[in-house]
Amino acid sequence: MPDDPPGPPAGTPPPDRPTEPLPTPPPAPGSGPPPQAPGPYPGADLPQPSPYGPPPAYGHPAYGQPPGYGYGYPTGPQTDSTATAALVIAIVGIFICMPVGAIVALVMANSAQKRIEASEGRLTGLELTRAARIIAIVELVLTGVLILGGVLLIALSLGPQ
């Protein structure tokens, strides 16, 4: 048909559209930047952040900078897991095996305290170690009282026979 405009043959998909905007011609010398229409809200005509994230930082953050320096908020000090474990063992030791749990809790609390003090503020948990130590000492005292009471009970039950 002679009246049809030229185009792709029938049955072929249309060509892909360009994904990038066409380049704009450079402004004429002395004309300045082109005027921009005001946006729908104040500040809309300001440059918007890139959809690809923040620009890369200059330099490597590990060189001469403390950990946590850079984007985002720095992490706070963490509780030492050994201090938490010592407190749990001290509490559970009351119900399971008093003297063994108390001794293990004391050893772990001392170890955790040394690690926390050596961490220079990166680890917390001194309160947990203190609580574990107090509970363990109370357990050991109760164990001693129970053993002494049992020995006295046996000694008194045998009597002067």
- Listing DSSP states for 110-142 in one string gives HHHHHHHHHTTTSEE-HHHHHHHHHHHHHHHHH
Q: Read off the pLDDT of residues 11-38 as tens digits, 9 standing for 90 and up.
A: 666 666 656 666 666 666 666 555 555 5
Could you tell me if residue 122 is inside a domain?
Answer: yes
Specify whether the CB–CB gap between 93 and 107 falls below 8 A. no
The answer on pLDDT for 107 being more than 70 is yes
Calculate the alpha carbon distances from 130 to 7, 36, 106 in Å.
Answer: 84, 66, 10
Overall domain count for the chain: 1
Could you tell me if residue 17 is inside a domain?
Answer: no
Could you tell me if residue 72 is inside a domain?
Answer: no
Could you tell me if residue 39 is inside a domain?
Answer: no
d(CA 112, CA 88): 13
Structure letter (DSSP) for residue 57: P
Could you tell me if residue 31 is inside a domain?
Answer: no
Could you tell me if residue 90 is inside a domain?
Answer: yes
Tell me the residue range of the domain where 123 lies.
Answer: 79-158
Q: Which two tokens stand for residue 55?
A: 């620009």
Could you tell me if residue 104 is inside a domain?
Answer: yes
Give the mean pLDDT of 128-150: 96
